[in-house]
């Protein structure tokens, strides 16, 4: 007798409409309330990719929970931008004009999506 198990994982985002330029999946995503060391690991991978692909723009989309302040979320995003563009402890130093921040709306979770897109293509969000 064979038994098949099917697991379905779904994530619901509100106010999100990917354009044709958006990849079929995200480059990376994580919870914005993850520990800073974990966030830096995601940002390091993103920065490494952007450094190796100078024709790409790095989009950072963030969602807030229904009860979360956008101001608090923006302060976390600003810390991420500073880490990617100015932090002397990293060798990345991505140019500020290659990082685009987008507030994507309210969601069940406070997620951050990292998505590189070719400069010639429209924004993914």
Residue percentage of the chain with pLDDT more than 90 = 49
**pLDDT mean across residues, the chain:** 80
Which pLDDT does position 13 carry in this prediction?
31
Within a domain: 37:
yes
Within a domain: 51:
yes
pLDDT digits (tens, 9 = 90+) for 81-101: 999 998 767 677 899 999 999
Residue percentage of the chain with pLDDT more than 70 = 78
pLDDT digits (tens, 9 = 90+) for 41-82: 999 999 999 999 999 999 999 998 888 888 888 888 999 999
Which pLDDT does position 3 carry in this prediction?
44
- Split into its structural domains, the chain has a count of 1
- Closest by CA to 81, choosing from 40, 122, 23, is 40
Q: Report helix angle 70-85 to 36-52, nearest 10.
A: 50
Within a domain: 15:
no
Within a domain: 17:
no
Within a domain: 83:
yes
Within a domain: 14:
no
**Does residue 15 contact residue 111 with C-beta atoms inside 8 Å?**
no
In this prediction the pTM is: 0.76
pLDDT at 124 over 70: yes
Q: Compare 65 and 8 and report the one with higher pLDDT.
A: 65
Q: How much is the CA Rg of the chain, to the nearest whole Å? A: 16
Within a domain: 21:
no
Q: How does residue 31 score in pLDDT terms, banded at 50, 70 and 90?
A: very high
């Amino acid at each position: 007798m064979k038994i098949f198990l099917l697991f379905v994982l779904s994530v619901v985002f509100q106010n999100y409409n990917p354009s044709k330029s958006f990849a079929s999946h995200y480059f990376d995503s994580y919870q914005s309330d993850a520990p800073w060391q974990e966030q830096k690991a995601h940002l390091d991978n993103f920065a490494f990719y952007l450094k190796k692909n100078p024709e790409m723009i790095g989009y950072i989309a963030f969602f807030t929970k229904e009860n979360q302040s956008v101001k608090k979320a923006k302060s976390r995003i600003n810390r991420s931008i500073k880490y990617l563009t100015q932090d002397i402890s990293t060798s990345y130093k991505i140019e500020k004009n290659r990082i685009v921040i987008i507030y994507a709306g309210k969601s069940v979770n406070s997620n951050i999506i990292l998505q590189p897109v070719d400069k010639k293509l429209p924004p993914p969000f």
